Amino acid sequence: MSLTITPEEFLEVFSKSFEEGVRNRISMNTPFKHIEGWSSLTALLITVEMNDTWNIGLSDDEIRMSTTVKDLFQITLHKLIS
Amino acid sequence: MAVFSLYNLTLRSVASTVPMDKISNRSLTFDDFNAELFIKTTGIETRRISAGKVTAADLCIQSAEKILREEKIDKSGIDILVMVTQTPDHLIPGSSMFIQEKMGLSKNCICFDINQGCAGYVYGLSVIGSFMSSAKLRKGLLLVGDTITQAIDPNDSSLVPIFSDAGSATLIEYDENAKPWHFNLQTDGSGYNKIFIESGGARMHKEDGNSCLYMNGQDIFNFGLTEIPANIKELLKYAEVSSETVDYFIMHQANLLLNETIRKKAEIHASVTLYSLQNYGNTSCATIPVTLSEHADKLNHSSVSLLLSGFGVGLSWGSCILPVENFNCYPVAEFR
């Protein structure tokens, strides 16, 4: 059975790992590596949130080759529907 | 078949030793290193560093001598010694030979090394246990230790705050009245370069590549979340053991975020899960015995069921269920 998600749902899960004051400034077009507080630890925290929610994670290559939140959303969506 | 049982074995004693030099992660001065966030996420506050003064073999010898002295065990009665390390004293021969000589063990004592990392304690138990069970060897010493900080670039802000040094000794006895040990061991060589020292071996001379430890933290994290809970659940099913009946769960001490996520996915209670991350960080193959020693007050003289799980370099991972009776567990000691 495949599962699909909306950009809003992805954004909510993605943003959980950032401080409250930063969350409302994140959009699908935000270059996520430039978000205040972004680090390799943030990537691990997002991985845990994604794993809890959809039971999938993002590889190092997938994060490295992505620029915006939308890029990560598309990778996630592809994993969920394939 | 990765799931199997070994018979007639008792885990008698564990002792662990760390170098005296203690480093606080709060004292690190890397650019953009947020010590409080790091400590909150990983659980690692302080670490022990050998700084080239002592080796894994030295730390393991002190641990083994402690057990033999405290329990008045004649060295001639040790039939096998297995050393698990990735940081041997020399490339040739293995550290176990030096240790046999240094400790004055018998020439009839079988000695060899295993090159294994964070799954090394579980793999080591399975190897020494297999020898002892099949050949009916009376007493065996499993020595597990690394001075992995010596392989880390001091400017690598992603690895320096995590890793730490330690050595341990575990005494195992042949006992026909013992309950079986159950194992689930797995390997995925496609991830051989996810935790990696590229050069310095026969494939690449030291000067031709990176001779420091590299770790792909993100991919190791995904590996841990995907494979370890499944491995544990398969083992519990095979052994017909409920996670409710496990008295203590000790994982390889990678980092608190990963370990807690694995624990929740494996459906094991927080109350039975033991940690040593705060004081000793990630001591590579030695994290499980160090954690046992860190909780010696709970475990000493106990008769309990232990669930152990190690995972890391290889990629390799394994879990085991060990029922222990009259277990002697010594607190972590500093190297003298």
Residues B288-301 pLDDT 10s: 999 999 999 999 88
Confidence of residue A2 (pLDDT cuts 50, 70, 90): low
Question: pLDDT at residue A81 above 60?
Answer: yes
**Superfamily for domain range B1-336:** Thiolase/Chalcone synthase (3.40.47.10)
Q: What is the pLDDT of residue B302?
A: 78
Question: pLDDT at residue B229 above 50?
Answer: yes
Residue with tokens 């909510």: A12
Confidence of residue B105 (pLDDT cuts 50, 70, 90): very high
Model pTM score:
0.94
pLDDT tens digit string along B262-274? 999 999 999 999 9
Q: Which of A22, A32, A41, A42 to probe the B interface (max B CBs under 10 A)?
A: A41
Residue with tokens 């159950």: B182
Question: pLDDT at residue B236 above 70?
Answer: yes
Q: What is the pLDDT of residue B17?
A: 98
Q: What's the whole-number mean pLDDT along residues A45-50?
A: 92
Q: What is the pLDDT of residue A11?
A: 93
Q: What is the pLDDT of residue A9?
A: 92
pLDDT tens digit string along B127-147? 999 999 999 999 999 999 999
- Average per-residue pLDDT in chain B? 95
pLDDT tens digit string along A13-27? 999 888 888 888 899
A8 touches B: beta carbon within 8 Å: no
Residue B69 carries which DSSP code?
H
**Which domains are seen in chain A, by residue range?**
7-81 (1.10.1200.10)
Question: pLDDT at residue B53 above 90?
Answer: no
Question: pLDDT at residue B327 above 50?
Answer: yes
Quote the distance between the C-alpha of residue A76 and its chain's center.
8
pLDDT tens digit string along B148-192? 999 999 999 999 999 999 999 999 999 999 999 999 999 999 999
ipTM of predicted complex: 0.86
What lies within 8 Å, CB to CB, of B203 at 6+ separation is none
Domain boundaries defined on chain B: 1-336
Q: What is the pLDDT of residue A20?
A: 84
Q: What is the pLDDT of residue B237?
A: 96
A60 and B216 in contact by Cβ < 8 A?
yes
Query: Which residue of chain A comes nearest to B159, CA vs CA?
Result: A40
**Furthest CA-CA distance within chain B:** 58
Query: Which residue of chain A comes nearest to B32, CA vs CA?
Result: A39
Question: pLDDT at residue B199 above 90?
Answer: no
Q: How buried is B292 (Cβ within 10 angstroms: 0-12 exposed, 13-18 middle, 19+ buried)?
A: buried
The partner residue sitting opposite A60, judged by closest CB among B219, B226, B258, is B219
Question: pLDDT at residue A1 above 50?
Answer: no
Candidates B50, B3, B130; CA nearest to B334 is: B50
Q: What are phi and psi of B258, to 5 degrees?
A: -65, -45
Residues of chain A neighbouring B265 (CB-CB closer than 8 A): 51
Cα(A56)–Cα(B225) distance, integer angstroms: 9
> From residue B24, how far is each of B45, B193, B231, B282 by CA, in Å?
6, 29, 34, 14
Cα(A69)–Cα(A66) distance, integer angstroms: 8
Query: Which residue of chain B comes nearest to A44, CA vs CA?
Result: B218
Question: pLDDT at residue B310 above 70?
Answer: yes
Q: What are phi and psi of B231, to 5 degrees?
A: -60, -45
Confidence of residue B1 (pLDDT cuts 50, 70, 90): low
Token pair of A32 as six digits: 């996520």
B225 and A51 in contact by Cβ < 8 A?
yes
Cα(B324)–Cα(B307) distance, integer angstroms: 11
